[in-house]
A and B are shown apart, each in its own frame.
Chain A
Amino acid sequence: DIRMTQSPASLSASLGETVNIECLASEDIYSDLAWYQQKPGKSPQLLIYNANSLQNGVPSRFSGSGSGTQYSLKINSLQSEDVATYFCQQYNNYPPTFGGGTKLELK
């Protein structure tokens, strides 16, 4: 199985700040990568697919980039409603696998 490693495991940022979350795959996943947001007590919600395609309805302050084994999620102008845990997931290889998550808190 492909191993997905996220960093950092947690971070604290201020309102209006720009945040970057990294995801490293154990082998090339050819941009078959999704990002999910999970708020406490809620189900994961899809933000990004194909590494950089924004899911319908997701604010444009979210963006994804990367290729090969290295990917990132960027949140511009952090809002209070962005407090959540973020997960990456590869779907290039079977079975799909998830990163361990990045918990984002407000400073």
Chain B
Amino acid sequence: QVQLKESGPVLVQASETLSLTCTVSGFSLTNYGVIWVRQSPGKGLEWMGIIWGDGNTDYNSALKSRLSINRDTSKSQVFLKMNSLQTDDTAIYYCTRGEYYDGTYYPYVMDAWGQGASVTVSS
């Protein structure tokens, strides 16, 4: 059974760094990319970045200067770090995963999602 679960602080001060962990089970991080998506009332759903099965990363250019995604395959964990937080970074942060259909990998068709981590940035 595929599962993803986010964990991290609920409240972060402005200008500080957000650190979130996504712990996965039911699949290998070397076979699937893991994506971070956030959702806020102001910006809706926003694709943030991906760490691929080979460990490479791609980021949304709007966040690239502040965002890093890493992983520990031995612990089945993916880590998000985003610095210089502002109040409009207040959002629910999800980790999610693509899927294979008929032998083709669709990294951006997200079939499994964590329950989300609600993060408030306080000024």
Question: A interface vs B, CB < 8 Å?
Answer: 34, 36, 42-46, 49-50, 53, 55, 87, 89, 91, 94-101
Contact = CB atoms under 8 A, between A and B. Distances in A.
Interface of B: 44-47, 58, 60-61, 94, 101, 106, 108-111, 113-116
A87 B58 CA distance: 23
Given A44-B45, A98-B44, A53 B101 contact: yes
B61 A49 contact: no
Main secondary structure of the interface of A (DSSP, over half): loop
Nearest to A101: B44
A98 B110 contact: no
A44 B110 contact: yes
Contacts of B58: 94
A95 B106 contact: no
Given A43-B94, A49-B106, A98 B101 contact: no
Best-buried of A53, A96, A98, A99 by chain B (most CB within 10 Å): A96
18 contacts: A34-B110, A43-B94, A43-B115, A43-B116, A44-B110, A46-B110, A55-B111, A89-B45, A89-B108, A91-B106, A91-B109, A95-B47, A95-B61, A96-B47, A98-B44, A98-B45, A98-B47, A101-B45
A98 B115 CA distance: 19
